[in-house]
Amino acid sequence: MANRIPILNIKVDNISKSDLLKEFKSGVLITPNVDHLMKLQKDREFYDIYLKAEYVTVDSRIVSLSMKYLGTPVKEVITGSDFLPSFYNYHKDNPEINIETHLKPMIKPLDNLIN
């Protein structure tokens, strides 16, 4: 596992995407951005979820630049939207790796919107 760097009240993994692809086989990956960092200051339930994540990677160039300015740069910004297709392609032939989500649907089915 990568070393962790503190930012505000959480720690983020200082890891490259290629290393994360090799290491991350199961668990939860969270990718904080500026909005998350602000919410983490007030929302205990949200904060507790972060504490349980196996990996936390910086999802924002603004956060990355702030960390660099503070003298604690991360190796790479790894956004969730960049990582998911890379993870899929890296593990697509591995029957032991599955992608699951426990998020509620965010878009209503189209048939509910018609008429």
Residues of the chain with pLDDT under 70: 1-2, 100-115
What's the CA gap between 51 and 54, in Å, rounded?
8
User: What was the pLDDT predicted at 1?
Assistant: 55
User: What was the pLDDT predicted at 25?
Assistant: 85
If one counts the domains in the chain, the total is 1
User: What was the pLDDT predicted at 106?
Assistant: 45
Cβ partners under 8 Å of residue 64, min gap 6: 58, 73, 74, 77
User: What was the pLDDT predicted at 59?
Assistant: 94
What's the CA gap between 16 and 57, in Å, rounded?
9
Residues 47/35, Cβ–Cβ less than 8 Å? no
What's the CA gap between 5 and 13, in Å, rounded?
6
User: What was the pLDDT predicted at 101?
Assistant: 61
Domain that holds residue 65: 3-113
User: What was the pLDDT predicted at 96?
Assistant: 83
- Classify residue 44 as left (phi > 0), alpha (psi -120 to 50) or beta: alpha
